[in-house]
Structure 1
Amino acid sequence: MDGRGLERDGTIAREGALDRVPAAFLPVVDAARAHITETFGGARLHSAYLYGSIPRGTATPGVSDLDLQLALHEEPTETDRADAKAIEAGLDRAFPQIDGVGILLTSTCVLLRDLERHDAGFFIACLCTPLLGPDLAEQLPRYRPTALLARETNGDLALVLPRWRAQAVAATTDADRRTLSRLVGRRIIRTGFTLIMPRWGGWTSDLDQSAELFGRYYPERAEQMRTAASIGRTPSSDPVVLDMLIDDLGPWLAAEYTAVHGEKAPRP
């Protein structure tokens, strides 16, 4: 893998691996594997994956969260979601080295369908690390840092902004605002990076690197993007920061994204 996150043939390298998990997080990963196996077994679960800073080897104890993707044989049910929430809560309580747990539930049918080839499919093939079961990446193509990939991964920011505004209004506690700010900061910085990804010609999930690369192309928005990266790592309860991300940087970024890459293909 080169300095731009690419293989020798120019395709995007898979960014995580189990042997990169920091020692402090090995018990967390082992416990997650055990809970998922016990709860979902082979009847419901096709495969499970880690993603984020823990499999990339960049996680910080007490700060980083644990991110998991479960691929189910069938569409997730309310029982599946309740079981996932129980695993999230149990792991978060048991391990002080993580600050939250998030489990995504998706059927294999959705992950492999043509409409998701450059979104959920790319996510599995390049951003997820196999934890349990057969690897769906074997059924997916190799990916390059193209405008098509940019459009299909983050070309729907405009659709998300109204929901964030409603959540910001409904947030009544500092904890609520911190949770929202982390989500917004991460999505904004990743959208900012994929906006410039085809011009840069590579891939990274590092928040600070993403902000710095973005700033090369849009220096007038560089400081705001650095703030988004900081909030993505260390959430803030400051409503002024949320307002800046949702009502200033967000709308500008959504409009620029559409102008450069077009809109993401509509989902059902």
Structure 2
Amino acid sequence: MSERGLDQDGTIAREGALDRVPAAFTSVVDAARTRISKAFDRARLHSAYIYGSIPRGTAAPGVSDLDLQLALHSEPTEADRADAKAIETALDHAFPQIDGVGILLTSTRALLSDLERHDAGFFVACLCTPLLGPDLAERLPRYRPTTLLARETNGDLALALQRWHTRVAEAATDAERQTLSRGVGRRIVRTGFTLIMSRWGGWTSDLNESAELFGCYYPERVEQMRIAATVGRTPSADPAVLSTLIDDLGPWLAAEYTAVHGEKAPRP
């Protein structure tokens, strides 16, 4: 891998690998593989992937969560979601070194579709590490840090803002607000980075680096972006923090993103 998260040909390098998993998390990954194999047989599961800080080798025990993507042979059912939820709960309870588990369920048809080529397809090919089954990345293109990739990965922040406002209004506990703040922080930082990605000419998933790179182009907003990076790692229940991100930084970022890259293709 060359500088700025790129391979020698200038395409975005796959960022994780199983041999980068920190020792404290190897038992977690092994257990995830076992539980997924038991809950989803080969007729149902095409492949499974791990993503986030654990395969990047930057996970911190007691702080980092476990993120998994399952590619199914057909569209996810309610039974599939129930099985995934059971795996999430079991792993979260069994391993104190992880703070939460999230499993995404997607059909191979969707992941390989033209509509998702520069969104979910990019996610699997570059941000996910194979855990079980054949690797869908072999059927996807190599990606470059272009405005097309920026638009299709994060060009729908305005829709996320609408959902976040609803969740803020419905949040009744500090735990609910913390969970929301983590997701909001991460999404805003990633959107801030992909806003400037094509100008910078590279890729990173590191929240701190993303915030600082964003600040090189938008110094007047860097302090807010640093707050987003902080709560993306260490969630906050403070309503003022959520308001800063959802009511101020978020709307500005969505408008700037549309002006620079355009809006993401609508999904059904």
TM-score, normalised relative to structure 2: 1.00
1:110-165 per-position Cα deviation (integer Å, ceiling 9, x unaligned): 00000100000000000000000000000000000000000000000001111100
Offset at residue 214 of structure 1 (A)? 0.1
Offset at residue 3 of structure 1 (A)? 2.3
> 1:237 aligned to 2:243?
no
Give the corresponding residue for 2:175.
175
Separation of aligned partners in 2, 1:121 and 1:37: 23
Give the corresponding residue for 2:38.
38
Amino acid at match of 2:22: P
Give the corresponding residue for 1:67.
67
Secondary structure at the counterpart of residue 191 of structure 2: helix
Offset at residue 81 of structure 1 (A)? 0.2
Offset at residue 227 of structure 1 (A)? 0.4
Alignment of 1:166-205 (within 5 A): 166-205=166-205
TM-score, normalised relative to structure 1: 1.00
Runs of 4+ in 1 over 2 A off after TM superposition: none
Separation of aligned partners in 2, 1:241 and 1:88: 28
Separation of aligned partners in 2, 1:125 and 1:147: 18
Q: Which runs of 5+ in 2 are unaligned?
A: none
Give the corresponding residue for 2:104.
104
Amino acid at match of 2:17: A
Alignment of 1:77-96 (within 5 A): 77-96=77-96
Separation of aligned partners in 1, 2:3 and 2:144: 15
RMSD over aligned CA atoms reads 0.4
1:159-209 per-position Cα deviation (integer Å, ceiling 9, x unaligned): 111110010011110000000000000000000000000000000000000
Give the corresponding residue for 1:143.
143
Amino acid at match of 1:177: R
Q: Which runs of 5+ in 1 are unaligned?
A: none
1:62-110 per-position Cα deviation (integer Å, ceiling 9, x unaligned): 0000000000001000000000000000000000000000000000000
Separation of aligned partners in 2, 1:197 and 1:2: 16
Offset at residue 2 of structure 1 (A)? 1.9
User: Matched residues, percent identical?
Assistant: 81
Secondary structure at the counterpart of residue 40 of structure 2: helix
Amino acid at match of 2:256: E
Give the corresponding residue for 2:124.
124
Separation of aligned partners in 1, 2:101 and 2:2: 31
Secondary structure at the counterpart of residue 68 of structure 1: strand
Amino acid at match of 2:136: L
Separation of aligned partners in 2, 1:167 and 1:69: 24
Count how many residue pairs are aligned between Structure 1 and Structure 2. 268
Amino acid at match of 1:54: I
Separation of aligned partners in 2, 1:245 and 1:153: 19
Separation of aligned partners in 2, 1:259 and 1:158: 13
Secondary structure at the counterpart of residue 4 of structure 2: coil
